[in-house]
Amino acid sequence: MNHPAAVPAIPTLATSPLTRTDPQLAALLAEEEARQRFKIRLIASENYASSAVREASSSVITNQYSEGYPGARYYEGQQIVDQVERLAIARAKALFGAEHVNVQAHSGSPANLAVYLAFLKPGDTVLGMQLAHGGHLTHGSKASITGKYWNIVSYGLDPQTKLLDYASIRELALQHKPRLIIAGHSAYPRQLDFAAFRAIADEVGAILMVDMAHFAGLVAGGAHPSPVPYADVVTTTTHKSLRGPRGAIVMCRAEHAAKIDKAVFPGLQGGPHNAITAAIAVTLQEALRPEFATYAGQCVANARALAHGLLDHGFNLVTGGTDNHLVLVDLRNKGIAGKPLAAALDRAGLVTNYNAVPWDEQPPQNPSGLRLGSPSMTTRGFHEAEFRRIADWIARVVDSGLDDKVIAEIAVETQALCAGFPMP
């Protein structure tokens, strides 16, 4: 990657042990660092973890096994790791107000599977949001183990508004009597009505799980309502808007604590990844600071600025806008598919992902939408003005018909902008 002339190459790895022992791999990581530094990253599920989080995530505590839970391990030598795990748990409780916390699930899918394992028998009925309308694979997609081992009933969006229709979710629940109802999404640009989900779950006697992986950072920073008072179980990854390492947290009411812990270990996993537990503890301490609330609020303000900019350029947005950290663009009126546009934007220095839109006629491999998110560049310090520039650049790429000369011009501009916003 060519760096702008004014910006020196970053020598982070130049003298590291990795450079000496494996220069090939070190060179690849240096390239990746440059990519992250000089491209505008708009993947809604990504972020920049702080240097402190990254330091903890590669610390010496990775060297040990710790099957079990603090105070009840199957190995000696747990004097320190018990304190680390208890610290992470205490901070999660303080941040989210949860009664019980498990920080061992290796990532989001295992966290969600632990909930299935804790509460369901194979074949039980689950009501979750369909993947094609913005749900997650583990909410019952046929491609996931959840869609193979359980009887899945899926809810979707209202065809007119593209918003969740709680009356129809309630009807499905009354008809199918699910044992588990899942709220949460990977591509829905609006807040969820947790009280409505709770009322539906209570009416049919279901367990309510909220997967807040995408918006956990907004919840932590007070920019999104919290599902914790409403849900039996809340799962989240720690690396999206929460800005931590790649891990997960499962929170639940005290009455479900033993079931959840048993499902995570020994139900699904062996030893926890202790260095990730340590990095989660650091993440949660960062999220408890006042500046994290500023970041969370700015994530929403920036996504709104991006949405308004795109609307001004004639783009159609699913639900017409956003009130969280993501924007879902329906490209059908622009006569271009998501995949070639995402590839062209990447060449222009704008990293996005192609995404299905509700009732997409095109296949998931080349759908009609583009998903954009604000967390990464909000962490870098972008405000509304920068996000409006992003909307202008996307429009220029589309209006040019993906012209290489225009893309090359924009690549210079995006690199120059990134140079003014340091990466942690």
For residues 247 and 216, what is the distance between their CA atoms, to the nearest angstrom?
13
Whether 211 is catalytic is yes
Number of residues that bind ligand DSN (CB under 6 A): 4
Residue nearest to ligand DSN (CB): 45
Residue number with CB closer to ligand DSN (136 or 380): 136
Cα 297–chain centre separation: 17
Site mask, ligand DSN, residues 345-384, x = CB under 6 A? ----------------------------------------
Q: Least distance to ligand DSN from the beta carbon of 272, Å?
A: 20
Is 354 a catalytic site residue? no
How would you class 293 by CB atoms within 10 Å of its CB: exposed for 0-12, middle for 13-18, buried for 19 or more?
Answer: middle
Nearer to ligand DSN, 139 or 256 (CB): 139
Interaction between residue 45 and ligand DSN (CB under 6 A): yes
CA dist 284 and 156 (Å) reads 33
Closest approach, Cβ 138 to ligand DSN, in A, equals: 8
Q: Which is nearer to ligand DSN, 46 or 330 (CB)?
A: 46
Q: Active-site residue among 67, 124, 193, 323?
A: 67
Residue 40 burial (CB count, 10 A)? 25
Q: How many CB atoms lie within 10 A of CB 191?
A: 16
Catalytic residue among 190, 240, 334, 371: 240
Which residues in the 93-132 window bind ligand DSN by CB under 6 A? 108
- d(C-alpha 319, C-alpha 165), whole Å: 12
Report d(CA 272, CA 274) in Å as an integer: 6
Could you give phi then psi for residue 102, rounded to 5 degrees?
Answer: -120, 125
Quick one: 117 or 131, whose CB is closer to ligand DSN?
131
Closest separation between CB of residue 364 and ligand DSN, Å? 13
Contact 291/273 with Cβ under 8 angstroms? no
Q: Contact, 184 vs 340, CB < 8 A?
A: no
CB 45, min distance to ligand DSN, A: 3
Q: Which is nearer to ligand DSN, 109 or 274 (CB)?
A: 109
> Could you tell me which of 187, 292, 193 has the C-alpha nearest to residue 244?
292
| Minimum distance, C-beta of residue 27 to ligand DSN, in the bound complex (Å) | 27
Minimum Å distance from CB 136 to ligand DSN?
6
Using an 8 Å Cβ cutoff, are 48 and 286 in contact?
no
Residue 146 touches ligand DSN, criterion: CB under 6 A? no
CB of 215 to ligand DSN, least distance (A): 11
Of 211, 232, 261, 360, catalytic: 211
Catalytic residue (one of 54, 65, 93, 347):
65
Q: Transcribe 247-284 into DSSP letters.
A: -EEEEE-GGGHHHHHHIIIIII-SS--HHHHHHHHHHH
Q: Which of 104, 186, 298, 379 binds ligand DSN (CB under 6 A)?
A: 186
Dihedral sign (CA 327, 328, 331, 333)? negative
Q: Establish whether 65 is a catalytic residue.
A: yes
Q: Which is nearer to ligand DSN, 45 or 154 (CB)?
A: 45
* Residue 235 near ligand DSN by CB under 6 A: no
Distance CA 119, CA 345 (A): 43
Question: For helices 79-96 and 274-287, what crossing angle results, to 10°?
Answer: 30
* Binding interface with ligand DSN (CB under 6 A): 45, 108, 136, 186
Active site residues: 65, 67, 211, 237, 240, 246
